[in-house]
A and B are shown apart, each in its own frame.
Chain A
Amino acid sequence: MDYKSKNLVAERKRRKKLGDRLLNLRALVPRITNMKKETIIEDAINYIQELQENVKFLTGKLQLLEVEPFSEEEANPKREETNTVEDMKKCGIQENVEVSYMSGNKVQIKIIFEKKRGKFTKLLEAITSRGFQLSDTSMTSSKGATLFSSFAEVTYDGTLAVEETRKSLLQIVRSMPQLCKKLDPGDCCLGGAKLGLSELNTYL
Chain B
Amino acid sequence: MYEEPGCFDPNNFTAEGAGSGFPQAVQKQFEENMDLSVDELSYHHHNHQEDAAVSAMESELQKHLAFKVENCDNNTHMLQQVVDDPNQLLSYDHANWNTGDIGFNQGDPEQNGHRSFNINSLPQTPDLLNLFHLPSSSLLPNSSISFANSNHDTTSLGFIKDLPASHSTSVLYDPLFHLNLPPQSPLFSELFQSIPQGYSLPTSRGGASSLFGDERDSSGVTAYQDGDGGMLEFTRDMACIVRRSETGKKKKPFTTERQRREQWNDKFEALRNMVPSPTKSDRASIVGDAIEYIKELLRTVNEIKLLAERKRCVRERSKRHKTEDDAGEDVKNCNIWPLGDPEQSYIGSLRSSWLQRKSKDTEVDVRIIDDEVTIKLFQRKKIDCLLFVSKVLEELKLDLHHVAGGHIGDYYSFLFNTKICEGSSLYAGAIANKVIEVMDREYAAVPPTSSY
Contact = CB atoms under 8 A, between A and B. Distances in A.
A44 B271 contact: yes
Chain A interface category by residue count: 35 or more
B98 A39 contact: yes
A200 interface: no
B304 interface: yes
Contacts of A124: 386-387, 390
Contacts of A151: 406
Contact of B96 (A35, A38, A58, A76): A38
A41 B452 contact: no
A138 B403 contact: yes
27 contacts: A18-B284, A21-B284, A22-B287, A25-B294, A35-B179, A36-B97, A38-B96, A38-B98, A38-B99, A41-B287, A42-B195, A44-B294, A45-B196, A46-B196, A51-B294, A58-B301, A120-B390, A121-B387, A121-B394, A124-B386, A124-B387, A125-B387, A133-B384, A134-B386, A135-B407, A139-B403, A140-B404
A166 to B, nearest CB: 21
Interface string B389-407: 0110010000111111111
B291 A21 contact: yes
A136 B406 contact: yes
B113 interface: no
Interface string B401-436: 111111100000000000001110101010000000
Contacts of B92: 35-37
Contacts of A136: 405-407
Contacts of A157: none
B280 to A, nearest CB: 12
Chain B interface category by residue count: 35 or more
B300 interface: yes
Given A59-B427, A137-B386, A117 B98 contact: no
Given A55-B301, A124-B390, A33 B295 contact: no
Contacts of B187: 31, 33
A55 B93 CA distance: 35
> Majority SS of interface residues in chain B?
helix
Interface string B323-334: 000000000000
A14 interface: yes
Interface in A4-61: 14, 17-18, 21-22, 24-25, 28-29, 31, 33-39, 41-49, 51-52, 54-55, 58-59, 61
Contacts of A28: 291, 294-295
A65 B403 contact: no
Contact of A45 (B274, B402, B406, B429): B274
A73 to B, nearest CB: 4
